[in-house]
C-alpha cells in the first residue's frame, strides 16, 4: 500500500525564470537559483531572439509560504528579469 502522508501540506511549483538578456550566463543563474531555493529539477527553454529562460521545479511546504516567498528568493538572483508561475499543484 502506498502512503501519501509524506506529501501532505506540500506544494509543487514550476517557474520560468527569465534572464535579463541573451548575454546572461544561464549556468551562473542556475547555480544561484540552487543557492536560494531547494530545486527538484532545472532546465532551459528558448523564449525568442536568442533569449532563454531557466525552468525551475521545486517543492515547498505550506509553512514556507506561497508563490510570493519563492519569487522573493528568486528575485535576489543576479541576471533575472522576471519570474512566471507556469504550474502549481497542492499535494
Domain limits at 18? 13-90
Mean pLDDT per segment of 10 residues, for the chain of length 91 residues? 57 92 92 92 90 92 79 90 91 77
Question: Closest by alpha carbon to 20, among 56, 48, 50, 51?
Answer: 51
What pLDDT score does 4 carry? 47
Is this prediction's pTM over 0.85? no
User: Burial code of 33-43, b = ≥16 C-beta within 10 A, e = fewer?
Assistant: beeebeeeebe
CATH number where 78 lies: 3.30.70.60
| 47 assigned to some structural domain | yes
| 20 assigned to some structural domain | yes
Rounded Cα distance between 78 and 81, Å, is 9
- Domain total of the chain: 1
What pLDDT score does 34 carry? 94
Amino acid at each position: 500500500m502506498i502512503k501519501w502522508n509524506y506529501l501532505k501540506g506540500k506544494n509543487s511549483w514550476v517557474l520560468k525564470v527569465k534572464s535579463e538578456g541573451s548575454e546572461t550566463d544561464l549556468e551562473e543563474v542556475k547555480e544561484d537559483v540552487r543557492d536560494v531555493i531547494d530545486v527538484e529539477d532545472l532546465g532551459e527553454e528558448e523564449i525568442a531572439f536568442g533569449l532563454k529562460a531557466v525552468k525551475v521545479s521545486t517543492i515547498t511546504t505550506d509553512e514556507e509560504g506561497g508563490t510570493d516567498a519563492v519569487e522573493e528568493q528568486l528575485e535576489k538572483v543576479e541576471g533575472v528579469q522576471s519570474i512566471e508561475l507556469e504550474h502549481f499543484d497542492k499535494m
